């Protein structure tokens, strides 16, 4: 019996809402996972995540297996005790981080140098499962091979085929009953390869599926095409997780095509650089126009930052390089992202997703990437 249960409650076209129940609780879909790379969403604690409405958190296998080590995490109560987070968790296999290190890839697995001390590290599909079982996440991911885009079709196919072989090996060694193991669809931006990868991964019998290898250099049109090719080949009763996607426009396009789950460092990374997410377009809080502005970032936002602090104060924190600035803006950006998908769920529930989606994009289109008027809230 699967340790997770996924139930779809409403559908509007391909877009759908649902709930995914795990050993540590239930979260709503479509949903977003804040990224706690080293067991923490940078600058925030678990109470902060609860305050902004997070229901599930992602932790990174690659980093935790190196520091402090999976056994140390297990000794401290697995991820729940280690992080002080009692809700659902998902661990990625580390494939994306390893990809960025240009590792040596063989049929056996990958070999790379630790970013911490330069030591030689080997990771196989079997070890990736074992490490994630030790960490104790509710959902684990298979080790996959991804390639940067654009790439020759033979390179993409070879990576897809290897991911399928690694996925079968991962299933053979899974032992933790209280953890679901998700497969990962590859195939680059080639629709035929994406459809083939999805169909063959589905046949392996995973209870859920990641769609990987996107947001690595392709255009938005190419990303959408890959999703449109892959998703129809996946079982409708299983959750679909688009890995590494977290911008407003990208997530809403994916939701419209039937995606259920997302993760990305984007909201918090932008926050640490002073960029606020806003329905009228994202903007820099460092702008001098905000110096004496008493308004919150967004008067319609219910995050702790917007309920208490002004744009002028936040600008002051960034200009003076106070650490609090990044924390407060991270809370706002995460709340913006989580609330966006809450509204998406409401729109799907009423059957008006496409109309709502069009309105969101139209509102942001005139001022995207940082230039909303200081007089527009």
The answer as to whether 373 is a domain residue is no
Same domain, yes or no: 168 and 37? yes
Domain harbouring 99, CATH code = 3.20.20.105
Domain housing 197: 5-264
Distance separating alpha carbons of residues 325 and 278, to the nearest angstrom: 17
CB 24 within 8 A of CB 89: yes
Euclidean distance between the first and the last CA atom of the chain, given in angstroms as a whole number? 50
The answer as to whether 376 is a domain residue is no
The answer as to whether 36 is a domain residue is yes
SS3 call for 361:
helix
Same domain, yes or no: 187 and 316? no
The answer as to whether 359 is a domain residue is yes
CA angle 354–365–188, rounded 5-degree value: 70
Same domain, yes or no: 185 and 126? yes
SS3 call for 151:
coil
Last residue of a domain, one of 230, 264, 298: 264
Same domain, yes or no: 67 and 176? yes
Same domain, yes or no: 301 and 227? no
pLDDT tens for the chain, 377 residues long, are: 899 999 999 999 999 999 999 999 999 999 999 999 999 999 999 999 999 999 999 999 999 999 999 999 999 999 999 999 999 999 998 777 777 778 899 999 999 888 899 999 999 999 999 999 999 999 999 999 988 889 999 999 999 999 999 999 999 999 999 999 999 999 999 999 999 999 999 999 999 999 999 988 899 999 999 999 999 999 999 999 999 999 999 999 999 999 999 999 999 999 999 999 999 999 999 999 999 999 999 999 999 999 999 999 999 999 999 999 999 999 999 999 999 999 999 999 999 999 999 999 999 986 544 443 333 33
Residues assigned a catalytic role: 92, 263
Same domain, yes or no: 118 and 182? yes
Question: Could you tell me the CA-to-CA distances from 189 to 20, 160, 164, 329 in Å, in that order?
Answer: 28, 12, 17, 34
Last residue of a domain, one of 243, 264, 285: 264
The answer as to whether 371 is a domain residue is no
Last residue of a domain, one of 213, 237, 264: 264
The answer as to whether 344 is a domain residue is yes
Domain count, the chain: 2
Q: Is the peptide bond before 150 cis (omega within 30 degrees of 0)?
A: yes
Distance separating alpha carbons of residues 28 and 61, to the nearest angstrom: 24
Cα 113 to chain centroid distance, Å, stands at 25
Same domain, yes or no: 359 and 230? no
């Amino acid at each position: 019996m699967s340790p997770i249960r996924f139930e779809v409650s409403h559908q509007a076209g391909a877009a759908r809402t649902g709930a995914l129940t795990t050993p540590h609780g239930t979260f709503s879909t479509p949903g977003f996972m804040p990224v706690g790379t080293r067991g923490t969403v940078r600058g925030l604690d678990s109470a902060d995540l609860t305050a902004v409405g997070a229901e599930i958190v992602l932790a990174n296998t690659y980093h935790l297996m190196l520091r402090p080590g999976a056994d140390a995490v297990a000794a401290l109560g697995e991820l729940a005790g280690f992080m002080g987070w009692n809700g659902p968790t998902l661990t990625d296999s580390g494939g994306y981080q390893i990809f960025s290190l240009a590792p040596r890839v063989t049929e056996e697995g990958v070999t790379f140098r630790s970013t911490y001390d330069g030591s030689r590290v080997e990771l196989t599909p079997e070890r990736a499962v074992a490490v994630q079982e030790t960490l104790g996440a509710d959902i684990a991911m298979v080790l996959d091979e991804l390639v940067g885009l654009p790439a020759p079709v033979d390179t993409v196919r070879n990576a897809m085929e290897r991911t399928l072989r690694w996925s079968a090996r991962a299933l053979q060694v899974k032992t933790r009953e209280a953890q679901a193991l998700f497969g990962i669809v590859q195939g680059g931006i080639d629709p035929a390869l994406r459809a083939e990868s999805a169909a063959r991964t589905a046949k392996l019998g995973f209870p859920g599926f990641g769609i990987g290898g996107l947001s690595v250099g392709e255009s938005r049109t190419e990303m959408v095409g890959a999703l449109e090719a892959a998703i129809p080949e996946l079982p409708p009763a299983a959750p679909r997780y688009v890995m590494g996607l977290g911008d407003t426009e990208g997530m809403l396009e994916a939701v419209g095509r039937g995606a259920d789950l997302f993760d990305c460092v984007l909201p918090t990374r932008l926050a640490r650089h002073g960029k606020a997410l806003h329905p009228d377009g994202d903007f820099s809080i460092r702008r001098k126009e905000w110096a004496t502005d008493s308004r919150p970032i967004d008067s319609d936002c219910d995050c702790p930052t917007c309920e208490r602090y002004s744009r002028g104060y936040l600008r002051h924190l960034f200009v003076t390089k106070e650490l609090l600035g990044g924390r407060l803006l991270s809370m706002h950006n995460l709340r913006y992202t989580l609330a966006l998908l809450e509204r998406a769920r409401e729109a799907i529930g009423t059957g008006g997703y496409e109309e709502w989606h069009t309105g969101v994009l139209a509102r942001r289109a005139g001022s995207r990437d940082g230039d909303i008027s200081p007089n527009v809230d």
